Structure 1
Amino acid sequence: MNSLTPEQSCALLKDRRVLVVEDDILFAMCLEDELTDVGAEIVGCATSVGDALRIIDHAAARGRINAVLLDLNLRGCSSLPVADALARRGIPFVFSTGYGEGCNTGRHPTVPVLHKPYNMQKLIYTVEALCQEWESRQDS
């Protein structure tokens, strides 16, 4: 990955709206900080399946969500119902998980998976790619 100037870094996700779905509050706060440092607007942070679905409904009704970072396991529950809701709405997402390679991604085998612990630069570039994918679909 290329090294960016501070100005380029701050603009990388400018005007991109990102939802963080993560049950580890401290890790979620780190993710939010990293994403806002590169210009993203955090539309919310959900710690459970129910919270995530409510935020998605609310944010989708009031605007857009460009990308979602989705932990596969939320307080012992699978987040695949959230993945299904995102797919139905055409909202791009990336799975975030502590599970190893070959983890169950349900009906979403082509969705990118970031395996914890992961490099924050990789997270940022993955989210940027998701946002670009979303924008290209909106333009078509």
Structure 2
Amino acid sequence: MLDELNILVVEDEALIAMEVAMSLEDEGAEIVGPCSSVATALTRVTDADAAVLDVDVRGEAVFPVADELRAAGKPFLFHTGRDDLDTLRDRYGADVPIIRKPSGTTGLSNLLAEMVRRKT
């Protein structure tokens, strides 16, 4: 499903990062990261075809990474436990999916594959 796609994973919780990465790898993706800081993730945006972004990464908003991905025309989704989803929708619009934690990782793979197909 995600064969040969480079997926950037930005997540500061090690167990969640590992679960997401392994799930995406099982679908054929190559994982960029996982990155546990915004600064590291920003250096890896060019390596990615798409991304899964935690919103709060070590107390810092992931918005600079999302902005870089958007500027590069690369699809991304938010994978978050935040309750204030309206902030994300106001900033990025309804076209950026928001997946609430905890979530099943199968949905992430399907959604990413669909998003990449729409971009090509």
TM-score (normalizing by structure 2)? 0.90
Structure 1 window deviating more from structure 2 (29-38 vs 105-114): it is: 105-114
Structure of greater Rg: 1
Q: Which residue of 1 aligns with 2:39?
A: 50
Provide the rounded CA distance (Å) in 2 between the counterparts of 1:38 and 1:107: 30
Q: What is the one-letter code of the residue matched to 1:132? A: R
Q: Which residue of 2 aligns with 1:16?
A: 5
Q: What is the one-letter code of the residue matched to 1:44? A: G
Provide the rounded CA distance (Å) in 2 between the counterparts of 1:46 and 1:103: 25
Q: Which residue of 1 aligns with 2:103?
A: 118
Is 1:88 aligned with 2:77?
no
Deviation at 1:74, TM superposition (A): 0.4
Runs of 4+, deviation exceeding 6 Å: none
Q: Which residue of 1 aligns with 2:82?
A: 99
Identity of aligned residues (%): 36
Q: What is the one-letter code of the residue matched to 1:37? A: D
Higher relative contact order (CA 8 A, sep 6+): 2
Structure 1 stretches of 5 or more lacking a match? 1-11, 60-64
8 Å CA contact retained: 1:14, 1:40: yes
Give the alignment's Cα RMSD to 1 decimal: 1.4
How many residues were matched structurally? 118
* Cα pair distance change 1:79/1:17, threshold 3 Å: same
- Which residue of 95, 98, 108 corresponds with 2:92? 108
Structure 2 stretches of 5 or more lacking a match? none
